[in-house]
Amino acid sequence: MTAGMVIIGAGECGTRAAFALREAGYDGTIALVGAEPHLPYERPPLSKEAMTSDAPSIKAIADAERLAGHRIDLKGATTATSIDRANRSVRLADGSDLAYDKLLIATGSVPRQLPLPGLGSRSAYLRTFDDALRIRRHLREGVRIAIIGGGFIGLELAASARKLGAAVTVIEAQPRILTRGVPGEIAEVVHDTHVAEGVDIVCGDGIASIDDDGETVRIALASGRSIDADLAVIGIGAVPVTMLAETAGLALNNGISVDARLRTSDPDIFAAGDCCSFPLAIYGGRRVRLEAWRSAQELGGLAARNMLGAEEAHACVPWFWSDQYGLTLQIAGLPDEGERTIRRDLDDGAFILFHLKEDGRLVAASGIGPDNAVARDIRLAEMLIGKMARPDPEALTSPSVKLKSLLAA
């Protein structure tokens, strides 16, 4: 076997890493192993465009011609079953082996399973394009959709379903929607927008039981309320895919444990994307696992460079976004790192919350508004966060003071 670079996982992170290897001048073989039969594709459209389009299609990261042009050998519709660290090889489901000089694990995450009996053919999770096609068939006028989980995926799907005329109920066990990483002030805007669009949001109520008979899903809540739906979509978070790494004896810590250079406990194996956790220098080495599109891109490129010996530490600021009903929510940094929050009001009801340490250091910025109303200021805030800046709080709250001037200072 001729050893080269092997990447397990043909999603955003793994595919970007494959191209980044070529961009960095690597001339050896690259094998990209993906479980799905499709070309590598973007996942963010699955809860949006793939739901509302008359003819849903994948948004490919790269077509077959581009993959071939970069000599990336896509091995689709197969999985890696084991890693032989001693001989530096990966066994595939068909029994073949891939030798590697360096290996990247970019296996991503999968939906967290609802730990209740009673799920059937009218219950679904959203992770793949095929999942999206299955859900899309139900989204039309008069159909009742129950969404279990008030996070980003569930709410984006709720917005798409309402656009197509479906009746939507969102069930969230926590006291409010978007409890993970989104400030309450912004979550309230999202909540009120969904209610105004006709979504029934139930918060603070758990699920006692589910009965899916293949025609109707009957959901009994802890409060005694009963909800009937033609389809239940479960979106209660995601768990990292780590079994391959665990079986190979790699260290785990909220995913595959890697250092700031994305190297695992084996120096020849790297991990990147949703499946791994890593230390963030700007937050004192706090270990995080990021489930975000841009993070997958950034980590894929970083892993590729370090597989080639760059020894480059992670230095990016986390960034998340969501589009719903013409509103765009953007978050730079980690809001829970903040110890006090100040607000900057913009035009058309848009606003940004700046999250500061007690010493004045800016650690995060959260914004919401129509279209791209907050995009520029969030980007500038992201740069301030990366510089570990301590901007004047009065300047941050004043719309007349341009954030660019604070960055220059």
Structural domain boundaries enclosing 160: 113-234
Domain boundary among 251, 273, 307: 307
Domain-embedded: residue 313: no
Domain-embedded: residue 314: no
Predicted confidence (pLDDT) per residue in 21-58, tens digit: 999 999 999 999 999 999 999 999 999 999 999 999 99
SS3 for the chain is: CCCEEEEECCCHHHHHHHHHHHHCCCCCCEEEECCCCCCCECCHHHHCHHHHCCCCCCCECCCHHHHHHCCEEEECCCCEEEEECCCCEEEECCCCEEEEEEEEECCCEEECCCCCCCCCCCEEECCCHHHHHHHHCCCCCCCEEEEECCCHHHHHHHHHHHHCCCEEEEEECCCCCCCCCCCHHHHHHHHHHHHHCCCEEEECCCEEEEEECCCCEEEEECCCCEEEECEEEECCCEEECCHHHHHCCCCECCCEECCCCCECCCCCEEECCCCEEEEEHHHCCEEECCCCHHHHHHHHHHHHHHHCCCCCCCCCCCEEEEEECCEEEEEEECHHHCCEEEEEECHHHCEEEEEECCCCCEEEEEEEEECCCCHHHHHHHHHHHHCCCCCCHHHHHCCCCCHHHHHHC
Model confidence band, residue 409 (pLDDT cutoffs 50, 70, 90): confident
Are residues 227 and 247 located together in one domain of the fold? Answer: no
Q: For position 402, which CATH number holds?
A: 3.30.390.30
Number of domains in the chain: 3
Predicted confidence (pLDDT) per residue in 215-228, tens digit: 999 999 999 999 99
Q: What is the pTM of this model?
A: 0.97
Residue 135 scores a pLDDT above 90: yes
Are residues 260 and 365 located together in one domain of the fold? Answer: no
Are residues 10 and 82 located together in one domain of the fold? Answer: yes
Question: How much is the average pLDDT of 173-191?
Answer: 97
Domain boundary among 257, 276, 307: 307
Are residues 223 and 117 located together in one domain of the fold? Answer: yes
Are residues 219 and 242 located together in one domain of the fold? Answer: no
Residue 60 scores a pLDDT above 70: yes
Q: For position 23, which CATH number holds?
A: 3.50.50.60
Domain boundary among 252, 273, 307: 307
Model confidence band, residue 1 (pLDDT cutoffs 50, 70, 90): low
Question: How much is the average pLDDT of 5-28?
Answer: 98
Are residues 105 and 244 located together in one domain of the fold? Answer: yes
Are residues 77 and 10 located together in one domain of the fold? Answer: yes
